[in-house]
Amino acid sequence: MTAAPTIGVFALQGDVREHLATLGSLGVRAVRVRRPEELAACHGLVLPGGESTTMAKLAVTFGLMEPLRARIAEGMPVLGTCAGMILLADRIEAGTRDQVSIGGLDVTVRRNAFGRQAESFEQDLDLAGLEDPVHAVFIRAPWVEQAGPAVEVLARVQTAPDASRDAVGRIVAVRQGSVLATSFHPEVGGDGRVHGLFVDAVRRA
């Protein structure tokens, strides 16, 4: 793709503005997606952090759930961060009784795995494909409990936050084909390299 791709950010709920700014700094056309026709115009999509159950319900209400599933099945590149990772997971642990996901990523994800808001933490992570560590911000973050054979593990927790002693080694970034997901918030802190990996995938698609 030679022209600047159009990358949407799911904008019905969640951490939208920071993703738009980061994508814009990388030379792509970044747009808000609230309706199926807006999704249809996109070459890739970001599912941001937020409240995963609310985001899923709004996707159904606004007629986005089935178009999202169809586009992901067709190979549209998607980046899911925090709640976005939960929405992409085929299986969810510790979800609500009526929790649904978009799916497309062969993982089991545990919601709020590191604890509640008070247990938010930051640390530097080695992430496959990047030369230097990424400063990762975890806010009510999930982790991946199980990953299918087609899923590439990109990053694991390297040191335990105080509130979660069993966190070391937990999977917090994965990729399966054109789907990339992180437990942390790469849009926070001004480091656009995770988004850069995603933009590269969109350009190749």
CATH of residue 125's domain is 3.40.50.880
* pLDDT band of 48, cuts 50, 70, 90: very high
> Would 101 be classed as within a structural domain?
yes
> Would 10 be classed as within a structural domain?
yes
Tell me: pLDDT of 1 over 70.
Answer: no
> Would 53 be classed as within a structural domain?
yes
> Would 1 be classed as within a structural domain?
no
Neighbour tally for 124: CB within 10 Å: 12
Residue with tokens 């980061």: 22
Which pLDDT value is given to residue 94? 75
Catalytic positions, written as ranges: 82, 185, 187
% pLDDT > 90, the chain:
79
Where helices occur in 26-164 by DSSP H, the ranges are 36-40, 52-61, 65-73, 83-88
Tell me: pLDDT of 47 over 80.
Answer: yes
Neighbour tally for 75: CB within 10 Å: 12
Structure tokens at 110: 């545990």
Q: Which residue has the higher pLDDT, 116 or 156?
A: 156
> Would 19 be classed as within a structural domain?
yes
* pLDDT band of 109, cuts 50, 70, 90: very high
Q: Which residue has the higher pLDDT, 140 or 132?
A: 132
Domain count, the chain: 1
Structure tokens at 143: 């982790």
Mean pLDDT calculated for residue range 24-39: 97
Structure tokens at 180: 């990339």
Range(s) of the domain holding residue 89:
6-204
